A and B are shown apart, each in its own frame.
Chain A
Amino acid sequence: DAGVIQSPRHEVTEMGQEVTLRCKPISGHNSLFWYRQTMMRGLELLIYFNNNVPIDDSGMPEDRFSAKMPNASFSTLKIQPSEPRDSAVYFCASSTKETQYFGPGTRLLVL
């Protein structure tokens, strides 16, 4: 299996622009997670889905952030409009009942 796939790996954008991060989970995994990692706050869970349904989005920082999972093999995290404080590494993970597997992350820089 190719593992969790994320794209793009790096994104540089200007403040106010829309950013879309993409994730393809491991086939057969029923849960998908979006995390954000920063030096100051560490690894934070933003939202997670179970069977394509959002279960808990309490970690989404504000309305500028939204996430969708239209089918079992694809999810997006969108930031609109983006701000410099959104600069971070965003990880997607998918899980079996026993283990979460992480993607390589998207490094986002908002200028």
Chain B
Amino acid sequence: AQSVTQPDIHITVSEGASLELRCNYSYGATPYLFWYVQSPGQGLQLLLKYFSGDTLVQGIKGFEAEFKRSQSSFNLRKPSVHWSDAAEYFCAVGPPSYQLTFGKGTKLSVIP
């Protein structure tokens, strides 16, 4: 069975500081991995995805994520956080045309 763990429920960072959100997954084959962002009252927007190839994936809004097979991780990073990045972030695993399994999410707060 596939599963996703996001160990941090809530993270607070200062504007301009770097950010890393953790994601660990369990999946029986080569994983399809995703990061989505949800602003308050909005739907989920895709930040980036990994299917194969280069393990460092670039996404929108300056985000990147690194796939580490040995650690079953797909952590999301951003070198300098902006106040508009405050939102909830979801990691997901699975084939997108079938069933994605989502983590519980990490809420990001940004201090001015």
Contact = CB atoms under 8 A, between A and B. Distances in A.
A108 B98 CA distance: 26
Measured as residues with beta carbon below 8 angstroms from the partner, the interface class of chain A is 20 to 34
A96 B99 CA distance: 13
Interface string A77-104: 0000000000000010101111111111
B97 A95 contact: yes
Interface of B: 34, 36, 42-46, 49, 51, 90, 96-100, 102-105
Nearest to A44: B102
B98 A31 contact: yes
A104 B41 CA distance: 8
A98 B51 contact: yes
A98 B57 CA distance: 15
Contacts of B99: 45, 48, 56
B103 to A, nearest CB: 8
Contact of B44 (A55, A56, A91): A91
Interface of A: 4, 30-31, 33, 42-43, 45, 48, 50, 55-56, 91, 93, 95-105
Contacts of B96: 95-100
A98 B49 contact: yes
Contacts of A97: 96-97
A42 B38 CA distance: 12
A104 B98 contact: no
A105 B90 CA distance: 16
Contacts of B46: 99-101
A12 to B, nearest CB: 16
Interface centre among A33, A91, A100 (most CB of B within 10 A): A100
B102 A99 contact: no
6 contacts: A48-B99, A56-B99, A91-B44, A97-B96, A102-B36, A104-B43
